Chain A
Amino acid sequence: MDHLQKLEAHSVFLLREAYREFNNLCMLWSIGKDSTVLLWLARKAFFDHVPIPLVHIDTHYKIPEMIEYRDRLALKWKLNMIYGQNSEALKNKRTFPDGNVDRITCCRNLKSEALKHTLSGEWSRYKLNHETQKYEVDSNKDPYTGVIVGVRADEEGSRSKERYFSPRDKENEWGVGDQPPEFWNQYKTDFAPGTHVRIHPLLDWTELNIWEYIEREKIPTVSLYFDQGNGQRYRSLGCYPCTTPVVSDAKNEADIIKELRTGRFSNIAERSGREQDKEDGGGLETLRREGYM
């Protein structure tokens, strides 16, 4: 087995373990490359089925191509597709593009808060009806107790201390100092009522591994990751007012892999095109403790 096959096998094991142990499980799909690889791994784990609902948090500032891509795959792969949003903040224009709050607060409103309340079932969830191809309010309001997330340890420091099965308390808080032990493929899958768990099957993958895998498996991705002729591409996808492309002429997966292997970006953070990370130094660590992914 080569390195990618080992990574794949372990991630598949973790997905099956999550599916076996949790009744109310969901998987976050940001439409980005990592969570799309995760979705692909779910098809691997469950033999071309995805028996886990996919939850997307719609900030309404996603690049339109992303939403189009989401719904196309959802229909094609017969996904149980759900989205949630912070309708209040959007209605009252409590967003950065509206000029009313700073970037971090905007992220907190449109992502962290929306996510928290979508997962808990307090706010409406919208579910794709495969017959009408339209979203409808989901009648299921049960909280999700297991949430599968595509974070990687190499993305930034605070993520390197994560576990594959990482408990969160009632307030979504993450206790960095007191993490459960993980050994011999045995993970913390028992939880006191009221607590929940984040599952991280991609923890050991690097940005390079992700692209190598996308290339090997021919996984469809959003074209924004590639240079469309103007010498720019996105390395990480977020909301358009806060994401800037990097200079690159990588036109396909193979080009990106070459680019990453030469170490062109080795001293530039992958998320450096994400403006919110830059405010308040460790902004992400703060957001993360509050439940941001």
Chain B
Amino acid sequence: MQRDQMNIVIVGHVDHGKSTVIGRLLADTGSLPEGKLEQVKATCAKNAKPFEYAFLLDALKDEQAQGITIDAARCFFKTSKRDYIILDAPGHIEFLKNMVTGAARAETALLVIDASEGIQENSRRHGHMVSLLGIRQVVVLVNKMDIVKYSEKVFREIEEEYRDFLAELNVSPVNFIPVSAREGDNIVHLSKKMPWYQGYSIKQQLDQLKKQEDLPDQALRFPVQDVYKFTEGADERRIIAGTIETGSINTGDEVVFLPSRKESTIKTIEEFNVPAKKTAYAKEAIGFTLTTQIYIRSGELMVKKTEKIPNVSTRFKANIFWMGKSPMIKNKRYKIKLAAARTTVKLVDILNCLDASDLSSVANKQVIEKHDVCECILETTRPVAFDLADELENTSRFAIVDNYEISGGGIVLNNLSTEESMFEKNIREREFSWEKSAISLKERADSYKHRSKFVLLTGPPDTGKQKIARALERRLFENNYKVYYLGKVTMEHGLDSDISSYPDSNDEYIRRLGELARIMTDAGQIFITTISDADDFDIRKLKLLNEPNEILVVNTGSNIFNNFKVDLDLDEHIDVQKAVLSIEKLLKEKEIILEYYL
């Protein structure tokens, strides 16, 4: 028989009484080891030091050093109803990272405000963070009521002011409780000193709260964490592995993978040492096989075809909190991790920053500083699938990595896919300011006796692309065309030698290749190169980058494109001369090279 557990986090401004509240909860619910309270009191008396409930935490810490299994970083107390785990959340501003770590795992937050000092900077900041992190149950404790003589007026004033503040954040607190942690009022039992308060004590309130269960009627969201094919032992299964974020799924369900939009049907649900089953639910770490062989990468989001489809976009509005050592700045590349997806993101614009201390918005901010919470526009280099925070919050959440460190987190508020992306804008501006040569493309084509073209060979690795590309260069050259083949290694050790420092080096590689193609085709060349494992999105990007010039895509081996139609499909390891001739034929059909020039 297992007992119910609830994770709670205690936040608030420094010295407002968090540790004292924790000490009280431990002591008054009888959750301390036997004799601990007396022992700490005795030590205080011996040292002529007034006893503090907060000392109980320190005392427990000392015990941990001796190996006893109580833990102040995660301390426990019990009521008859359930076990509570208090996650460590020191209130000092420098400890925001720890607070976020604790709060993100909590179902309930107790927010402590000192009645005599009133609402302070971190009372607000923590309230804001708690709402961003998605804790739905917030109980506000107005502490140190003894100092204000248990005045209802003081309590109501704080309650009103803080309620208004939370309302702006769309948080409706479960309750406001007047307490004195030091005196033990309204901690476990209702205190006679505040007859005007008829609500719950802290303990009663906690026991009233509901465990947050996952709603079975939410849409399925299954981030593809990885795709496994372990060939040893003749295991033929190709397993799509991950943890179901929300919803449920059955064998036989039709599914769509995003952003690639590939479709298939669930064949089996895979697990180890568990009887076979037909349905899997939220939070299960599980695997699936599909009825069809489709090429899926980790990072995609699997959803049900019959349910609401999430957004797929490269541009969105988000709310971000920043913890990084250096501020978040515009146009710098960061890594974004959203569910299982990872890609590069840039800060495009800061719409407004809430100054956490008074929730006033600061206009015209140019950077997001440590501890700021800002509404802003972000743009990724590849499309990502996401939900909006007010629709399905789990899959609206992301983390941002700056220089190896998790530096920020946020939630997506809106999809801005209809706006022109920074990428498109850059290309438009590039074309606008392109210094046009005095020699027109037409003049070049007439002189070279062919038009320019970007010829790209794609397909899985090791399909013979490179050999074909090199032979094609030779063949066209011998027929007097202006042609150039560029090998990937050449780029790697030259132009791209810095590329590993980019958060998503493949995207930057594509961008550079596209820009190079634009230059080479502008120079009238037939520019040939190869790229492995390109997907629809890579090709779309290369096409855009090469505009207004043309691209020809030849696939070798199995075709992994979803919608994109290649110009020519060749078998894996096809005879090189045969491949060259068919590409040449295609170039003629497309009138890149013309018979009569020959």
Contacts and interface: CB of A to CB of B under 8 A. Distances in A.
Do the two chains belong together in a single complex? yes
A192 B88 CA distance: 28
B409 A183 contact: yes
A20 B227 CA distance: 10
B61 A44 contact: no
B283 A9 contact: yes
| Interface residue tally on B, bucketed by range | 35 or more
Nearest to A21: B342
Given A183-B100, A183-B101, A184-B104, A2 B2 contact: yes
Contact of A13 (B105, B225, B337): B225
Contact of B285 (A16, A184, A191, A272): A16
A161 B33 contact: no
Contact of A186 (B270, B337, B405): B337
A46 B230 contact: yes
B465 interface: no
A25 B471 CA distance: 41
A89 interface: no
B240 to A, nearest CB: 11
Nearest to B336: A186
B230 A49 contact: yes
Interface string B380-414: 00000000000000100111010011100100000
A269 B65 contact: no
Interface string B322-351: 010000000000010100000000000000
A163 interface: yes
Interface string A1-44: 11111101110110011011000000000000000000000011
B262 interface: no
Q: Which DSSP category, helix, strand, loop or mixed, fits chain B's interface? A: mixed
Given A20-B225, A267-B68, A78 B232 contact: yes
Nearest to B405: A180
A269 to B, nearest CB: 3
Nearest to A3: B2
A184 to B, nearest CB: 5
A269 B237 contact: no
Contacts of A49: 228, 230, 232-233, 235
B226 interface: yes
B233 A78 contact: yes
Nearest to B64: A157
A220 interface: no
A1 B406 contact: no
A4 B285 CA distance: 13
A271 B65 CA distance: 12
B336 to A, nearest CB: 10
B359 interface: no
B33 A269 contact: no
Interface in B234-282: 235, 237, 239, 241-243, 270-273, 281
B104 A19 contact: no
Given A20-B226, A180-B97, A181-B97, A160 B67 contact: no
B61 A157 contact: yes
Given A47-B272, A49-B232, A269 B67 contact: yes
B69 A269 contact: yes
A2 B401 CA distance: 33
Nearest to B270: A47
Given A47-B239, A157-B71, A269-B68, A192 B404 contact: yes
Interface in A143-198: 153-158, 160-161, 163, 179-188, 190-192
Contacts of B203: none
A277 interface: yes
Nearest to B99: A181
A157 B65 contact: yes
A282 interface: yes
B71 to A, nearest CB: 4
Contact of A47 (B67, B228, B399, B401): B228
Interface residues of A, number: 61
Contact of A45 (B66, B105, B285, B337): B285
A183 B104 contact: yes
Interface string B558-571: 00000000000000
A281 interface: yes
A140 interface: no
A10 B104 CA distance: 15
A44 B69 contact: no
Contacts of B492: none
Contact of B5 (A3, A43, A154, A277): A3
B73 interface: yes
A181 B285 contact: no
Nearest to A277: B67
B226 A9 contact: no
B285 A8 contact: yes
B488 interface: no
Nearest to B67: A269
B225 A17 contact: yes
A156 B232 contact: no
A44 B74 contact: no
B287 A47 contact: yes
Contacts of B337: 186
B171 to A, nearest CB: 18
B366 interface: no
A78 B103 CA distance: 41
A49 B74 CA distance: 34
Contacts of B401: 190
A279 interface: no
A188 B406 contact: yes
A51 interface: yes
Given A78-B233, A180-B405, A160 B225 contact: no
A131 interface: no
A46 B100 CA distance: 31
Contact of B133 (A45, A180, A183, A268): A183
Interface of A: 1-6, 8-10, 12-13, 16-17, 19-20, 43-49, 51, 78, 153-158, 160-161, 163, 179-188, 190-192, 206-207, 217, 266-272, 277, 281-282, 284-285
**Which 3 pairs show the lowest CB-CB distances between chains A and B?**
A157-B64, A269-B67, A183-B104
28 contacts: A1-B284, A3-B2, A4-B2, A9-B243, A9-B284, A16-B241, A44-B285, A45-B285, A47-B237, A48-B272, A49-B235, A78-B232, A154-B69, A158-B64, A160-B64, A160-B72, A160-B74, A179-B97, A180-B405, A181-B323, A182-B101, A182-B104, A183-B399, A184-B397, A191-B404, A269-B69, A270-B67, A282-B65
Given A46-B230, A155-B69, A282-B65, 10 more contacts: A1-B281, A9-B283, A47-B235, A47-B237, A48-B272, A78-B232, A161-B73, A179-B97, A187-B406, A267-B33
Interface of B: 2, 5, 33, 61, 63-69, 71-74, 88, 97-98, 100-101, 103-105, 133, 225-226, 228, 230, 232-233, 235, 237, 239, 241-243, 270-273, 281, 283-285, 287, 298, 323, 335, 337, 394, 397-399, 401, 404-406, 409
